[in-house]
A = this chain, B = another copy of it.
Amino acid sequence: MTQFTRRDVFATAAGAAATAAAGFNPLTLASANAQGVAGSTTGVYRYKLGDIELIQVLDGARTFPMPDKFVANVDKEQAAAAFEGLYMPKGQVTISFSPLIVKSGGKTIAIDTGNGLGAFAATKGAVGNTRANMQAAGIDVKAVDIVLISHFHGDHINGLKNADGTPAYTSAEIKVPEAEQKFWTDESNQSKANGANKGNFANVKKVFDGLKTTPFEVGKEVAPGITAIATPGHTPGHVSFIISSGSKKLVVQGDVTNQPGVFMRNPNWHLVFDNDGAMAEATRRKFYDMAMAEKMPVVGYHFPFPAAGYVEKDGNGYRLIQVHALT
Contacts and interface: CB of A to CB of B under 8 A. Distances in A.
A42 interface: yes
A86 interface: yes
A212 interface: no
Contacts of A46: 40-43
Contact size range, A: 35 or more
Nearest to A297: B87
Interface in A37-54: 39-46
A110 to B, nearest CB: 16
A51 B96 CA distance: 21
A327 B63 contact: yes
A96 B322 CA distance: 13
Interface in A94-116: 94, 96
Contact of A259 (B137, B261, B324): B324
Interface string A285-327: 0000000000101000000111000100000000001111101
A58 interface: yes
A22 interface: no
A323 B125 CA distance: 14
A297 B87 CA distance: 9
A124 interface: yes
B43 A87 contact: no
Contacts of A43: 44-46, 306
A295 to B, nearest CB: 7
Contact of A136 (B44, B125, B304): B44
A132 B109 CA distance: 24
Interface in A1-59: 39-46, 58
A210 interface: no
A246 interface: no
A86 B136 CA distance: 30
A160 interface: no
Contact of A42 (B39, B45, B304, B324): B45
Interface string A78-102: 0000000011100000101000000
Nearest to A126: B327
A321 B87 contact: yes
A261 B96 CA distance: 23
A61 interface: yes
B87 A310 contact: yes
A304 B168 CA distance: 33
A164 to B, nearest CB: 26
Contact of A304 (B44, B124, B125, B324): B324
Give 9 closest A-B pairs by Cβ, nearest first: A61-B325, A304-B322, A87-B310, A136-B136, A42-B46, A94-B324, A94-B325, A304-B324, A41-B44
Given A41-B41, A305-B306, 4 more contacts: A45-B306, A63-B325, A94-B325, A96-B324
8 contacts: A39-B138, A40-B46, A43-B306, A45-B45, A45-B306, A94-B324, A96-B324, A125-B327
